[in-house]
């Protein structure tokens, strides 16, 4: 059996990489099938930037950042080919026994992306067995869909799907309004899937890991809080994978090394969806910074994985929030239960309903 996985596997982002890896493996583990990645067909560009990149230093000091980004693209190009099996040529084929769209924000057409709005991502594919797994509209809302007059196009695509699942309530409500169907709500594959157990060694020890998109952690009060906590604990502040101009050290790891940075961290401060998942998976003490721009996906995630106590708003006490104990045993029980639900859904997508 051949399965086509339409995902965000070519995006130079750690969360996108690991969700593609985990979902591919989950489908393969359903048994007797090969999985190939399908590429996203470019459409009409729709952009919305949910934060401003604030360069607080001179052009000369920006050079390390630009070098950081260039090297990052090279790392991901290599790993996408070597580990995910992406080829240099694009694959837009549809001749598969089953097609799965997801996971990640494949439905979020207002994000800044090279492909923009393409009906392909909503199921407009010439195949009788198209499905979505834990797909997300991200910060796209029903109102923004109506404003941009995309509702009919999205609904037409969704009606082609045989089985639908999303990863958050906002996405479920949008689908309900567009096509009057209630999709399954399943957890992201990085939560329920298998990550590599053997991780490379790293030299860095005794640090707080900061994990956020380049320059996004810019609030003065937040920076002061993290620095004060690090000083009290005698820890370095390390940003891994993204560039922050106020930390002690910026490090550019491979996707596998990033998991080790999470595993070895004393604490984690993040405002990203997958940074939260990595922290929970590695049983770390962490805080997830909630803003209006990420409440729909990150707030929803924390509730679904039983980690509401890790919610942090700028102005709260980092020390008080991050030191709270985490019930990792309860989290692992939830993972096991949700993995069974995910496997049952994927088996249905493959035409193996019991």
What are the domain boundaries of the chain?
A: 2-193+336-349, 207-323
Give the pLDDT confidence score for residue 57 in this predicted structure.
55
pLDDT tens column, 66-114: 899 999 999 999 999 999 999 999 999 999 999 999 999 999 998 888 8
pLDDT for position 65: 87
| Rounded-to-integer distance, Cα 17 and Cα 7, Å | 10
Highest CATH level, class, for 2-193+336-349: alpha beta
Distance between CA atoms of residues 233 and 243, nearest Å = 23
Fold of 207-323: Rossmann fold (3.40.50)
CA–CA separation, 8 and 119 (whole Å)? 15
| Phi, psi (deg, nearest 5) at residue 209 | -95, 125
Neighbours of 309 (CB within 10 A): 13
pLDDT at 26: 97
Helices (H) and strands (E) in the chain, counts: 12, 12
Which one, of 235, 225, 247, lies nearest residue 319 by Cα? 225
pLDDT of residue 51: 43
Left, alpha or beta for 118 (phi > 0: left; psi -120 to 50: alpha)? beta
For helices 59-82 and 255-264, what crossing angle results, to 10°? 110
Note whether 2-193+336-349 and 207-323 share their fold: yes
- Pick out the chain residues at pLDDT < 50: 49-53, 354
Note if the bond before 103 is cis, omega within 30 degrees: yes
pLDDT value of position 58: 60
Tokens of 91: 């694959």
Question: Cα dist. 280→37, 262, 275, 297, 307 in Å?
Answer: 28, 10, 9, 16, 8
Q: What is the pLDDT of residue 315?
A: 85
Angle, alpha carbons 291-309-257 (nearest 5°): 75
User: For position 292, what pLDDT does the model report?
Assistant: 84
Residue (of 194, 170, 213) closest to 303 by Cα position: 170
Q: What pLDDT, on a 0 to 100 scale, did the predictor assign at position 115?
A: 93
The whole-angstrom separation of Cα 13 and Cα 7 is 13
- pTM attached to this predicted model: 0.94
| pLDDT, position 48 | 54
pLDDT given for residue 251 in this prediction: 97
User: What is the predicted pLDDT for the residue at 59?
Assistant: 62
Q: Looking at residue 210, what is its pLDDT? A: 98
Q: Rounding to the nearest 10 degrees, give the CA dihedral for residues 185, 189, 192, 194.
A: 170
């Amino acid at each position: 059996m051949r399965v086509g996985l339409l995902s965000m596997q070519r995006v130079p982002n750690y969360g996108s990489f690991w969700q593609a890896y985990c979902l591919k493996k989950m489908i393969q583990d359903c048994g007797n099938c090969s999985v190939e990645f399908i590429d996203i067909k470019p459409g009409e560009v729709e952009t919305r930037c949910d934060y401003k990149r604030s360069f607080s230093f001179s052009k000369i000091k920006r050079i390390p950042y630009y070098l950081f980004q260039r090297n990052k693209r090279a790392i991901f190009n290599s790993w996408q080919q070597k580990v995910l099996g992406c080829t240099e040529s694009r694959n837009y084929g549809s001749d598969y026994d089953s097609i799965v769209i997801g996971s990640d924000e494949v439905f979020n057409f207002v994000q800044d992306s090279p492909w923009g709005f393409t009906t392909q991502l909503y199921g407009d594919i010439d195949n009788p067995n198209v499905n979505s797994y834990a797909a997300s509209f991200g910060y796209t809302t029903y109102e923004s869909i109506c404003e941009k007059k995309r509702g009919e196009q999205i609904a037409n695509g969704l009606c082609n799907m045989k089985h639908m699942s999303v990863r958050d309530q906002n996405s479920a409500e949008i689908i309900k309004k567009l096509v009057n169907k209630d999709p399954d709500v399943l957890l992201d594959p990085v939560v329920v899937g298998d990550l590599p157990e053997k991780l490379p060694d790293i030299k860095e020890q005794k640090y707080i890991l900061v994990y956020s998109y380049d320059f996004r952690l810019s609030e003065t009060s937040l920076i002061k809080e993290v620095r004060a906590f690090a000083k009290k604990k005698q820890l370095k502040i390390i940003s891994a994978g993204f560039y922050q101009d106020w930390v002690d050290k910026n490090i550019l790891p491979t996707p596998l090394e990033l998991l080790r940075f999470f595993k070895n961290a004393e604490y984690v401060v993040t405002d990203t969806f997958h940074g939260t998942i990595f922290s929970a998976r590695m049983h770390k003490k962490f805080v997830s910074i909630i803003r209006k721009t990420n409440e729909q996906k990150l707030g929803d995630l924390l509730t679904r994985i039983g980690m509401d106590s890790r919610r942090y708003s700028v102005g709260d006490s980092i020390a008080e929030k991050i030191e709270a104990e985490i019930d990792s045993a309860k989290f692992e029980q939830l993972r096991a239960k949700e993995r069974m639900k995910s496997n049952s859904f994927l088996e249905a997508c493959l035409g193996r309903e019991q």
